């Protein structure tokens, strides 16, 4: 499946650094194609990870975040441009004069996904800063990485709690209920058996 996807969308193969570097250098990619890249890379990464193929999640997280950030930039800038054409009186407001460039959004997206996946906001911020040497984006980079890491923690805790509620017997229950005796394994503690 990954090979078939790679034939039609070669940017999703390997690390994807070429596409990511292009976004950091302000090479514009159409929004539809960015989201196609996002879905294709997510699909191929999941298939590779599930099948046990060689590869990790570090480079794909940078790629997915950069592409997602660039897609978000394209949507926001196109929306603001459309609104200013429909309502010309709003063009006096600073937000309609323009937003940060594509590289800033791609860097913030890459750092956010990396921080959310690995719960390492400082590492993600410093890594992206080292790659680009852009001082202008360090504050939004750190803020988004911190929020992404916190959001990842909250979602993971919520999913774990939901799984525990749906699981009739948790591992903690098994650890407190299974006791080994000379005769074999006893499900309840020996004291409780004696009381019955």
86 contacts 30 by C-beta, under 8 angstroms? no
Q: Is 159 exposed, middle or buried (0-12, 13-18, 19+ CB in 10 A)?
A: exposed
The pLDDT of residue 66 is: 92
CA torsion sign for 147, 153, 159, 162 is negative
- The model scores a pTM over 0.95: no
Q: What is the pLDDT of residues 62-103, one digit of tens each?
A: 899 999 999 999 999 999 888 888 888 887 888 877 788 888
């Amino acid at each position: 499946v990954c090979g078939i996807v790679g034939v039609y969308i070669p940017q999703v193969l390997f690390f994807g650094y070429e596409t990511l570097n292009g976004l950091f250098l302000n090479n514009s990619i159409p929004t539809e194609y960015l989201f196609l890249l996002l879905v294709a890379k997510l699909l191929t990464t999941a298939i590779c990870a599930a099948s046990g193929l060689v590869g990790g999640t570090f480079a794909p997280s940078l790629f997915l975040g950069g592409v997602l950030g660039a897609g978000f930039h394209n949507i926001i800038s196109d929306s603001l441009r459309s609104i200013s054409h429909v309502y010309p009186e709003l063009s006096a407001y600073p937000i309609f004069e323009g937003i940060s460039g594509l590289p800033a959004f791609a860097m913030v997206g890459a750092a956010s996904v990396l921080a959310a996946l690995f719960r390492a906001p400082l590492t993600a911020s410093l890594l992206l800063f080292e790659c680009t040497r852009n001082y202008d984006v360090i504050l939004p980079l750190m803020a988004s990485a911190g929020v992404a890491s916190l959001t990842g923690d909250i979602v993971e805790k919520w999913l774990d709690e939901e799984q525990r509620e749906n699981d009739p017997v948790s591992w903690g229950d098994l650890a407190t209920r299974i006791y080994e005796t000379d005769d074999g394994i006893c499900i309840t503690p020996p004291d409780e058996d004696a009381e019955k």
